[in-house]
Amino acid sequence: MAKFVLIGSGLAGGLLAAYLGRRGYEVELYERRADPREGNIVGGRSINLAISTRGIHALEQIGIADEALQHAIPMRGRMIHDKSGGLHFTPYDVDPKKCINSIGRASLNTTVIEAAQRYPNVRVHFNHKCADVDLTEAVCYLERTDGAVAAAVTAANPEIIQVSGDAVIGVDGAFSAVRQSMQMHIDSFQYDESYLAHGYKELTIPPGPDGSWRMEKNALHIWPRKSFMMIALPNPDGSFTCTLFWEVEGPRSFATTKSDEDVRRFFEEEFPDAIPIMSTLLEDFRQNPTGSLVTIRCAPWYYRDKVCLLGDAAHAVVPFYGQGMNAAFEDCVVFDDCLEKSPDNREHAFAEYFSRRKENADALADLAVDNFIEMRDKTASRTFRAKKKLDHLLEAALPGVYLPLYTMVTFARIPYAEAARRARRQDVIVYGSLIALSILLIALLLRLIAY
């Protein structure tokens, strides 16, 4: 069987290693960070994620869904916090059993890595940073990041480890070293990155004195404030991980809010109901970095039968649809299916995988940016909540015929591009019908008045 060298043992890297290991491939998985099972979590990076139907399906195919979800917390809808402290709950779906799940990044990463290591043909190596990839030979050049002396080195550089395989898979995130090698060495490689004017900062709502949650546990909390917002997801220990999405630059932004007094004043003005329960706010704001929000599109995702990209390395999206991890897990399912269909033609498998996923990744990128605008600007409005109620009424009245966009993206496995097209068609029909009905009623009313 062929040997795959995987770069990146994050969520998608660990899961892909399990899929490939199950097929009998030899897998060498390299990660630049230390083993997450030893408590090596990067400060300021979200400790929880939202996993839904697509991601759960990918875990089910490898037999680890129940194990992964044992500590997940279901979130059945959005809890909107207005500036006066009022709360408005909007369920995600007409079916109360349909929910997204808040899940810990570290525990999920541990689950997928351990699932991969159950196969004797899978080996995982931490503290190895990818420096370059020889695309034509499927050779990776890796640097040890733990200060240890490398056992296998090249003659040119005694600190560089050379690892070869039949193919290299870049599963190393938005700032992928494998993708960078493709950018440098493939003349026709297309690459585009776009940053939002907003950044993000992770904050915390600690658990209550008795370990309880200080807000509704089974909801995704949103403080929409037109041009910015804060969200909070529950954790099993009773805490909430909050994320402030705010302008990076400007008269009122991360750049101009430096002192503790500035931070306190801003939160008292914008999030008065959160202040009393954010006891570590000032410390969190000072210590946690301000992250960037980037969308990355590139093509192609593969080079011959030697190199391929998967997950954020191929299609990083902003987090506002909660689909980044779910899409990366879905990549693993499609990649595995393509290898099964073309076991003796790896380049054809890579090409089919790219063909099946590229349009959908681009569609998700657009949906994610659109959902940011919806979450920060529209969720607080009565009109928005009325539209959501109409969506649920139509879904209940026309089961299987009318599906809201959020339902198609989050609670189904309809391809993202198809879901976006179907939603547009539905809007034209529904709102066109409402306009036509309104015109008809006005005409009838005028006719009655005339008589």
**DSSP line for 67-129:** HHHTT-EEE-EEEEE-TTS-EEEEESSSSTT--EEEEEHHHHHHHHHHHHHTSTTEEEE-SEE
CATH class of 3-72+103-192+294-365: alpha beta
State the chain's mean pLDDT as an integer. 91
Window from 88-92, 149-153, 187-191 with minimum mean pLDDT: 149-153
Q: Residue 422: is its pLDDT beyond 50?
A: yes
Beta strands 160-164 and 139-144 are antiparallel
Contacts of 267 (CB under 8 A, 6+ apart): 274, 275, 278, 281
Q: What is the mean pLDDT of residues 343-370?
A: 97
Q: Are 161 and 132 in contact (CB under 8 A)?
A: no
- H/E element, 346: helix 346-373
Q: How confident is the model at residue 380 (pLDDT cuts 50, 70, 90)?
A: low
- CA distance linking residue 316 with residue 193, whole number of Å: 9
- CA distance linking residue 99 with residue 46, whole number of Å: 20
Sign, CA dihedral 346-347-351-357, equals positive
Provide the strand spans (E) within 211-333: 220-224, 229-234, 240-247, 291-299, 302-303, 307-309
Beta strands 128-134 and 139-144 are antiparallel
Question: Which residues on adjacent β-strands are paired with residue 297?
Answer: 192
Q: CA neighbours within 13 Å on the CB side: how many for 94?
A: 18
- H/E element, 190: strand 190-205
Q: Residue 148: is its pLDDT beyond 60?
A: no
Q: Residue 150: is its pLDDT beyond 50?
A: no
Question: Which residues on adjacent β-strands are paired with residue 244?
Answer: 201, 230
pLDDT of residue 154: 52
pLDDT of residue 41: 54
pLDDT of residue 447: 74
User: Could you tell me the residue ranges of all domains in the chain?
Assistant: 3-72+103-192+294-365, 382-450
- Say if residue 338 is exposed, middle or buried (CB neighbours under 10 Å; 0-12, 13-18, 19+): buried
Window from 57-61, 208-212, 353-357 with minimum mean pLDDT: 208-212
Q: What is the mean pLDDT of residues 294-304?
A: 98
Q: At what angle do helices 416-450 and 346-373 cross, to 10 degrees?
A: 40
pLDDT of residue 156: 55
- CA distance linking residue 246 with residue 127, whole number of Å: 33
Structure tokens belonging to residue 65: 């869904």
pLDDT of residue 151: 44
Q: What percent of the chain has pLDDT over 70?
A: 94
pTM, two decimals, is 0.91
Q: What is the mean pLDDT of residues 327-340?
A: 98
Q: Residue 211: is its pLDDT beyond 70?
A: yes
Edge-to-edge strand list for the sheet holding 167-170: 122-125, 26-30, 3-7, 167-170, 307-309, 302-303
Task: Find the radius of gyration of the CA atoms of the chain.
Answer: 24
pLDDT of residue 116: 98
Q: What is the mean pLDDT of residues 248-272?
A: 96
Phi-psi region of 128 (alpha: psi -120 to 50; beta: other; left: phi over 0): beta
Q: Residue 444: is its pLDDT beyond 80?
A: no
Q: Residue 406: is its pLDDT beyond 50?
A: yes
Q: Are 85 and 272 in contact (CB under 8 A)?
A: yes
pLDDT of residue 44: 47
pLDDT of residue 374: 79
pLDDT of residue 162: 95
Q: Which of 99, 92, 93 is nearest to 78 (CA)?
A: 92
Report residue 218: phi and psi, to 5°. Answer: -95, 50
Q: Residue 102: is its pLDDT beyond 90?
A: yes
Q: Are 4 and 27 in contact (CB under 8 A)?
A: yes
- CA distance linking residue 287 with residue 284, whole number of Å: 5
Q: How confident is the model at residue 56 (pLDDT cuts 50, 70, 90)?
A: very high
288 versus 147: which is more confidently predicted? 288
402 versus 446: which is more confidently predicted? 402
